[in-house]
Amino acid sequence: MNEEAQATNEELRATNEELQVSQEMLHSANSSLAQILDMLPASVVVIKGRELLVDMINDSNLKYWNKTRDEVIGRPFLEILPDLAEQPFAGQLRRVMDTHEVIDVKESPVLFTSADGSIRETYVDYTYQPLYDQYGNCTSVLVMSFEITDQVLSRRMLERYANELAAANDQLSVTNNKLAKSEARFKYLIQEAPVAIGILNGRNLVIENANSKLLEVWGKNESVIGLTLPAALPELSNQPFQQILENVFDTGEAFFANEIRAMLEHNGELKEYYFNVVYQPVGGSDQQIADILIVAVDVTQQVSSRKAVEQSEQHFRRLADLVPAKISNALPTGEVTFFNRHWLDFAGMSFEDMRDFGYHQMMHPDEVPAFRAGLATAAVNGTPHVSEMRFKNTEGEYIWHLNIASPILDEDGKITMWVGSTTDIQQIKEEEQRKNDFIGMVSHELKTPLTSLGGYLQLLRRRFAKSDDQSSLQILEQSLKQTAKMTAMINGFLNVAHLESGRIPINKTIFSISTLFDEVANEADHLNVTHKLFFAPISEEVLADHDKIGQVLSNLVSNAMKYSEPGTAINVSANVEGNYLTIAVADQGMGISDQDLNHVFERFYRVETGINISGFGIGLYLCAEIIKRHQGKIWAESEIGKGSTFYFSLPMS
């Protein structure tokens, strides 16, 4: 070998050695590179050539791809991960090889399809960096990626939460606003409620809250808030409230009371109050009773007005017991609610016995129907019913009473109750009887000499009629007229006396009305008629007391003459309607006012006319009594200055 060759050989050997060294170095460099790569916190893969073969890969990347080293080294990247063909990576890798640019992508989604077909969504930050060979050609790409799936997902979740939170916050603030408003309103309502409301805290009853009304009834101001109840209201010390409140604490049960009385100090003066109260225990967080809620309705006014009513009722009852009359009260239904002491003493019964059956049993049976009918009319008209009636006493005697049942009406005219006052008139009745007997007796005694006087006067008149002494004849005529008047008056008294002692018997016979008319016409003739009297023709007959009805008719005719100008007409007529025969006497006289018309049938009632017309006011009373005993009706119509018509009707059968 020549030197050159030897030298070359040497060089070659040296080069070989160098090569070997550098190969060894390369190997060790490669393995240390792999080690370094594995240690990197990033995924690293080197993709080589246009086929995109996996040249190098670290553990982290294998894990990310979910592959083993053998499955990937030397194989085309898209074969290993066919999923990624649809994604931009292959194109980007080739672009880096062509253009040598560096691609840096943040938060790129990478989707893998798992064996079970489910999609694994991952996120990575990655860079594609061109790698050059010794000739400066770019044949490989260094892919360095960081999986940030967790961060992205957590951030996204965070963002979602944040959004939700924001939305919730928005809502919350709206709700809060509303809540604040409604709480304010609630507080205001409680504060200004017309009901006293407050909260006492703890067993020593610290006033935590008291609304305006509570402070008002306590007679205090806000300064009591924070004080204990006994300190704020020392006047309660001898009243039951503290004990009741303690009980609520002990039992945990609410306390309710109506119209509980409290004496409360207002400006140094004790005032009486009545409340409907509730003491409601309110639990704290540890289930223990922490507070008592007080709700109290001030019912002082109602209680005092009720007490006033009760008092006035007591007053009324005491008064009712003091008056000498018998007093009763009844509901509109007729149910009796009160009999005074006099009633109970008179009946010898308890209130209950008298109410349930006694009252009506005590009435004289003859008077019950009229009383019931009268009461019914009074109820309809809203007017008092006045009647004289007998009630049986404890000895079984019927005692005369003046009974007045007065309906009490409300503003609408509705009956709210009946007040009955029943006065013993037995003595008056007896007095009256004695008076009637006396009048009867006197009248009777007067009648006999008067009848004789009349007879003598008629005898004298006959004698003088034959003589020429005209003036004496006239005097005699006048005397006869006055005697007739006096007889009529005495007869009236006698009738009243008889009537009132029930001694007017009614003797009914059938007679014709026209006969009655003739008799009355004759009688009037006899009395020197001063008016134009007309009797309408009538063919009816009636069953009645002939004399008494004749008396009624002549009374009405003589009244018609008495109260109208001489020469005016008086019409007497009869008319049948249904089962009733009605007779009318119409004059053209002075007339009667409506007010007087209501009274002319009463005993001794006379209208104040200013003109002196003689009479006692018993004529119409007698007429009415006679008609009443015939179960008939009597009434009048009249107009002042125009005349009056008096009617009476009798049942035909």
Q: Which residues bind ligand ADP (CB under 6 A)?
A: 559-560, 563, 587, 589-590, 592, 600, 605-607, 615-621, 644
Minimum CB distance to ligand ADP, residue 474 (Å): 27
Minimum CB distance to ligand ADP, residue 441 (Å): 22
Let me know: does 212 contact 192? Beta carbons within 8 Å.
yes
Q: What angle do CA 348, 350, 353 make, to 5 degrees?
A: 100
Minimum CB distance to ligand ADP, residue 520 (Å): 15
Q: CA distances (Å), 636 to each of 297, 592, 606, in order?
A: 64, 9, 15
**Shorter beta-carbon distance to ligand ADP: residue 349 or 618:** 618
**Shorter beta-carbon distance to ligand ADP: residue 447 or 562:** 562
Let me know: does 60 contact 42? Beta carbons within 8 Å.
yes
Minimum CB distance to ligand ADP, residue 309 (Å): 47
**Shorter beta-carbon distance to ligand ADP: residue 436 or 559:** 559
Minimum CB distance to ligand ADP, residue 400 (Å): 24
Minimum CB distance to ligand ADP, residue 605 (Å): 6
d(CA 192, CA 611): 76
d(CA 91, CA 593): 131
Phi-psi region of 142 (alpha: psi -120 to 50; beta: other; left: phi over 0): beta
Q: CA distances (Å), 194 to each of 188, 190, 212, 296, in order?
A: 12, 9, 9, 10
d(CA 343, CA 350): 10
d(CA 80, CA 504): 147
**Shorter beta-carbon distance to ligand ADP: residue 448 or 614:** 614
Which amino acid type is present at position 464? F
**Shorter beta-carbon distance to ligand ADP: residue 45 or 572:** 572
Minimum CB distance to ligand ADP, residue 589 (Å): 5
**Shorter beta-carbon distance to ligand ADP: residue 22 or 482:** 482
Minimum CB distance to ligand ADP, residue 453 (Å): 22
**Shorter beta-carbon distance to ligand ADP: residue 524 or 618:** 618
- Tokens 């009473």 belong to residue: 401
d(CA 534, CA 573): 8
**Shorter beta-carbon distance to ligand ADP: residue 393 or 568:** 568
Q: CA distances (Å), 525 to each of 312, 502, 529, in order?
A: 67, 33, 5
**Shorter beta-carbon distance to ligand ADP: residue 429 or 606:** 606
Closest chain position to ligand ADP (CB): 615
Let me know: does 280 contact 200? Beta carbons within 8 Å.
no
Minimum CB distance to ligand ADP, residue 578 (Å): 26
φ, ψ for residue 123 (rounded to 5)? Answer: -130, 140
**Shorter beta-carbon distance to ligand ADP: residue 60 or 564:** 564
Minimum CB distance to ligand ADP, residue 600 (Å): 4
Give the residue from 559, 550, 561 showing the smallest Cα distance to 516. Answer: 550
Number of neighbours of residue 152 by Cβ within 10 angstroms: 17
